[in-house]
């Protein structure tokens, strides 16, 4: 499979998985967290499908497309661990989290996801969902929507 085809499959899986997760949490109270703003495509999609939810965003730097800049109060700039802890200390709980951090080195990405898993868990409401491009630990893994190849995206219940 070409890298272009692989990217298209990944983006379609991400979109379909987030749409599915948004439906699944319709009756679950809580905010949304997008971990890894990047250029803002995922954040932009989340704010379209979850218009009634507060959407927090974490990233080390704000360098997204100008149309995708989150409100200043909802952008947590810095490392993930203190930013997630800040949310929980302020009493915010998450119904949905999207994990999209990565260094681009598989072993390093998997280790970081495992390290952050308990911190993410502390911010989730019972029954909340995590959609992740990396394997997380300590959550109930669940099947996502049909059509997403196993391992392409992972879905977890808190």
Whether the predicted pLDDT of 25 surpasses 80: yes
The rounded distance, in Å, linking the Cα atoms of 142 and 157 is: 7
Predicted confidence (pLDDT) per residue in 50-86, tens digit: 999 999 999 999 999 999 999 999 999 999 999 999 9
pLDDT of residue 89: 96
Percent of the chain with pLDDT over 70: 99
In the prediction, which pLDDT does 152 show?
85
The CATH number of whichever domain residue 73 belongs to comes to: 3.40.50.150
So what's the pLDDT on residue 51? Answer: 96
Domain that holds residue 148: 3-157
Residue 73 corresponds to which tokens in the numbers above? Answer: 């109060």
CB-based burial, 28-66: b 16+ in 10 Å, e otherwise: bebbbbbbbbbebbbbbbbbeebeebebbbbbeeeebee
127-138 per-position pLDDT tens digit: 999 999 999 999
pLDDT at 71: 97
Q: How many domains does the chain have?
A: 1
């Amino acid at each position: 499979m070409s890298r272009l085809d692989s990217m298209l499959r990944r983006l379609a899986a991400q979109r379909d998985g987030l749409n599915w997760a948004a439906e699944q949490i319709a009756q679950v109270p809580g905010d949304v967290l997008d971990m890894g703003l990047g250029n803002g495509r995922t954040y932009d999609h989340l704010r379209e499908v979850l218009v009634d939810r507060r959407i927090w965003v974490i990233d080390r730097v704000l360098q997204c497309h100008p149309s995708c800049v989150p409100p200043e109060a909802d952008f947590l700039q810095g490392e993930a661990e203190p930013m997630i802890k800040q949310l929980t200390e302020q009493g915010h709980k998450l119904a949905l989290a999207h994990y999209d951090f990565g260094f681009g080195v598989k072993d390093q990405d998997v280790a970081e996801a495992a390290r952050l898993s308990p911190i993410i868990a502390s911010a989730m409401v019972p029954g909340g969902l995590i959609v992740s491009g990396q394997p997380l630990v300590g959550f109930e893994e669940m099947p996502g929507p049909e059509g997403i190849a196993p391992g392409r995206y992972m879905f977890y219940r808190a």
